Chains A and B, each alone.
Chain A
Amino acid sequence: MMNKSGSFFQPSRRAFLGAGVLAAAMLATAACGGPAKESGGVGTAEKPVELRILANDGYAKQWQEQMVPEFNKKFPNIKVTIDGVPYGDQLAKTMLELTAADPTYDIVMADDPWIPQMASTGALLDLKKDAAEWTDAAYDWNDFNSAPLAAGEWEGVQYGVPLRSNMLMMFYNKALYKDAGVPEPTPELTWDDYMSQAPKLVRDTNGDGKDDTWAVGTYFTRDPLTPTVWQTIFNANGGELLDGDNKPAFNNAVGVAALQTHVEMLKYAPPGASTWQFTEPLEAFRQGKTATMFNWGSVYKGTAIDPKTTTLTADQVGIQVMPAGTNSSGAHRGIWSGAIASRGQNTEAAWKLVEWLSSSEGEVWQSNTLGVFPARTSTLDSTPEQAWLSPVFDALKMAYADAETGKMWRPRLTNSDEVQRILADETAVAMANTNDAAKALDDAAAEIEKALTK
């Protein structure tokens, strides 16, 4: 065949395109049925690797600005971009991203109950097996405290490692306790003690006839994290949300009493507290309006240290496990685990970041610089650079132990968010006093049973 230029056997542009498409198709076919995909390496100066992380917007910016430059000192050829997503949208977006044929994100952050749901898509890397060949010999899996590490595990496979550990804990304002003549809390404080002291902590401090400080601030509104408060009370009294057959086991006297305690707390909270989520109790406590706060321990730095965000100082703020029930004191696990998309192009580089950040070196840096809680026993047992971290580490160790003993975490199921939302809905109904606690828990149990048998 002769082409326009008049020469035989010289392929035309169309023929070139056709050959290109054919070659691409052949390559794609080979990739599907061929050997395992390349890990992408850790990059070179000429050809750096680009990683994308899908994280929560609460810490994405902090990580981008402070953690990434620190990581790049060790791995300068891995460029990292972190996208923050609001908590409420994060699971759905992560699931959508993970299930894409060519996922945008190499690393996804999973909140405590999400790993089973994400892992069920088959789109997460088995870190102990698939990443074993890239793992540094000094990386000690056994050094992790078992409670936070378990958040990244499902059905015997380690899909995530703790990168930002957190526990629901009790904060207290020492000055307000002293002014009210109430002894400062200790880990031995029980829920009965706490509730009997609460009325004394509601006070009119300026004598204008109106109360201006209150006993408690925490989650009360219709929010998936609100039930974590009564769940912790329930767990501290020996209760478990689901039995061995995954049937609801909370609609009983212990569960009702726990929920009633949570509802009762509203009486000793500031006006409007029934709409409070994460931020409002934090602001009220930081402004010295509430004597205690049940919130995530990671807010300690912003609550007691950083003058830009708080009116309080480390001397004024105590942190400890939540009051005790009949079994133990309480805490509720809230670990952010880092997991790697198995279909990602840069799995090795992704593991290098996750490995560094969860290593002893990364943890120590993160604790000292960002105030993020560690998960390694060696870090918790070390003497932190910042003096204020010492009592926090002590409280954290106790919280991990309580969480593990009392199984103080949200249900770990492939539809854990659905279960948690049902609990949130019914807790909210009890909180609004449109249902009593027993009826609310019966309704929640019925709905959850239906959801789990489907």
Chain B
Amino acid sequence: MRTSSLLPKKQEASEIPPPSRRTVKGGYSQPSRARLKFNDLLSKWTFLGPTTLLLLALLAYPIFYTIQISFSELNLATFAPKGWVGWENYKDAITDPGFLNSLKVTGIYLVLALPLQMVLGFGIAYLLNVEWKWRGLVRALFLIPMVVAPVVAGGVWKMLLDPLWGIVNYMLGFVGIGPLNWLGDPNLAMISIVLIDTWRWTPFIVLIASAAMLALPRDVFEAAAVDGARWWHTLIHVSLPLLASAIGAVFVVRWLGAVKMFDIALAATRGGPGQSTNVVNLYIYEEAFRSLKFAESSAMAVIVLVLTMIMTMIFLRTTKKLEDRF
């Protein structure tokens, strides 16, 4: 009896399909195309709806609110936008020498950091792909910088690089280098920021590059070996073309991450000495939360967003072209 209760019940008269269902030859009914389409849409949006709502609330709303503030004056007594000021905040932003300087500083940082991290990341991944004894341990150790918060990384490196108390100058002293004023010299400070950022982000590139390399087809490499290709030729003519799409994707992801870097600079140099490491997001952050110029800083943020989108589109198109080419 218990078993029979688990079996599907016989169809009752009340469960006979409604008349809207089309009856086909053979006796059973089939839902109409419109109804099928509706059901399909319903099930799709049942799954998509919550995510869409969340995305709208968490991403779109802040962006639209920032855009709204950028065209308004922010009333500090209510912390709400008041009055439409047109392009006034944008005019202020593009004539602000500090903002323009911060864009330049960000450009320098990106030009130095991104190629270095890409070359190092893929280079290390290439080495980790070769079988050797401690490969697993090294790969695990590489994860450490990734789990350190950027502000902590900046603070710790500030201590390590300190000329009075830091260990880096102490160690360099044994080989006759220094003492170097890592964070106090305007030129060295930018290099120090790039090095700290590289220490933190190269493992991320290594991980993705390793995965991409593991997914490469073995037969092509075997064919290259049979044809007598040297490692250098294999790298240039086989590995890199096959990795082109992965390199492009990693570059775009890293570019988007690097553009918004400010925490390392905040912790290590506070944008100094002078303005030499005052990257654009640090500048915007300070304009907003230190000077309480929320409207102007929103305009700056929108400008940076637009510039980033344009650059990202260019990179994506280039990546697509590379993929098509290889």
Question: Could you list which residues of chain A lie within 8 angstroms of chain B, going by C-beta atoms?
Answer: 88-89, 91-92, 95-96, 99, 117, 120-123, 221-224, 270-275, 277, 280, 283-284, 289, 415, 417-418, 421, 425, 428-429, 431-432, 434-435
Q: Is B181 touching A272 in the complex (CB atoms < 8 A)?
A: yes
| CB neighbours of A272 from chain B (8 A) | 162-164, 166, 181-184
Q: Is A421 touching B291 in the complex (CB atoms < 8 A)?
A: yes
Most buried by B among A89, A270, A277, A425: A425
Q: Is B290 touching A122 in the complex (CB atoms < 8 A)?
A: no
Q: A117-B292, A273-B184, A274-B181 are in contact. Are A434 and B77 (CB under 8 A)?
A: no
- Ordered by A's residue number, 22 sampled pairs between the chains whose C-beta atoms are within 8 Å are A91-B292, A92-B288, A92-B289, A99-B76, A99-B77, A120-B77, A222-B271, A222-B272, A270-B164, A271-B181, A273-B184, A274-B272, A274-B273, A275-B184, A275-B269, A275-B272, A283-B165, A417-B290, A425-B98, A431-B273, A434-B186, A434-B276
Interface membership of B86, Cβ < 8 A: no
Complex partner residue of A417 from B183, B186, B276, B291, CB under 8 angstroms:
B291
A85 to B181, CA, bound (A): 31
Residues 90-108 of B, flagged 1 when their CB comes within 8 A of A and 0 if not, give 0000000010000000000
**Which residue from chain B places its CB closest to the CB of A419 in the assembled complex?**
B291
A270 to B164, CA, bound (A): 7
Q: Is B290 touching A92 in the complex (CB atoms < 8 A)?
A: yes
Shortest C-beta distance, B16 to chain A (Å), equals 34
Q: Is A96 touching B290 in the complex (CB atoms < 8 A)?
A: no
Interface membership of B275, Cβ < 8 A: yes
Residues 161-204 of B, flagged 1 when their CB comes within 8 A of A and 0 if not, give 01111100000000000010111101000000000000000000
Most buried by A among B163, B184, B269: B184
Q: A95-B76, A417-B292 are in contact. Are A275 and B273 (CB under 8 A)?
A: yes
| CB neighbours of B276 from chain A (8 A) | 432, 434
| CB neighbours of A95 from chain B (8 A) | 76, 79, 292
| CB neighbours of A270 from chain B (8 A) | 163-164
Q: Is B270 touching A223 in the complex (CB atoms < 8 A)?
A: yes
| CB neighbours of A421 from chain B (8 A) | 286, 290-291
Complex partner residue of A275 from B98, B158, B278, B291, CB under 8 angstroms:
B158
Shortest C-beta distance, A420 to chain B (Å), equals 9
Complex partner residue of A222 from B76, B158, B162, B273, CB under 8 angstroms:
B273
| CB neighbours of A274 from chain B (8 A) | 181, 184, 272-273
**Which residue from chain A places its CB closest to the CB of B88 in the assembled complex?**
A454
Which B1-60 residues sit within 8 Å CB-CB of chain A?
none
| CB neighbours of A271 from chain B (8 A) | 163-164, 179, 181, 184
Shortest C-beta distance, B173 to chain A (Å), equals 10
A99 to B75, CA, bound (A): 10
- The 3 A-B residue pairs with the shortest CB-CB distance, nearest first, are A432-B274, A272-B163, A222-B272
Residues 227-256 of B, flagged 1 when their CB comes within 8 A of A and 0 if not, give 000000000000000000000000000000
Q: Is A289 touching B164 in the complex (CB atoms < 8 A)?
A: yes
A100 to B271, CA, bound (A): 32
| CB neighbours of A435 from chain B (8 A) | 274
Q: Is B273 touching A224 in the complex (CB atoms < 8 A)?
A: no
**Which residue from chain B places its CB closest to the CB of A430 in the assembled complex?**
B274
Shortest C-beta distance, A337 to chain B (Å), equals 19
Shortest C-beta distance, B81 to chain A (Å), equals 13
**Which residue from chain A places its CB closest to the CB of B266 in the assembled complex?**
A88
Which B285-316 residues sit within 8 Å CB-CB of chain A?
286, 288-293
A377 to B98, CA, bound (A): 45
A274 to B183, CA, bound (A): 8
- A272-B184, A275-B162 known; 6 new pairs, CB 8 Å cut-off, are A89-B289, A99-B77, A221-B270, A222-B275, A273-B184, A415-B291
| CB neighbours of B165 from chain A (8 A) | 283
Q: A275-B183, A428-B274 are in contact. Are A120 and B292 (CB under 8 A)?
A: no
**Which residue from chain B places its CB closest to the CB of A224 in the assembled complex?**
B290
Q: Is A429 touching B274 in the complex (CB atoms < 8 A)?
A: yes
Q: A117-B292, A272-B181 are in contact. Are A428 and B77 (CB under 8 A)?
A: no
A223 to B290, CA, bound (A): 11
Shortest C-beta distance, A87 to chain B (Å), equals 10
**Which residue from chain B places its CB closest to the CB of A97 in the assembled complex?**
B79
A117 to B286, CA, bound (A): 17
Q: Is B186 touching A432 in the complex (CB atoms < 8 A)?
A: yes
Shortest C-beta distance, A286 to chain B (Å), equals 13
Shortest C-beta distance, A277 to chain B (Å), equals 8
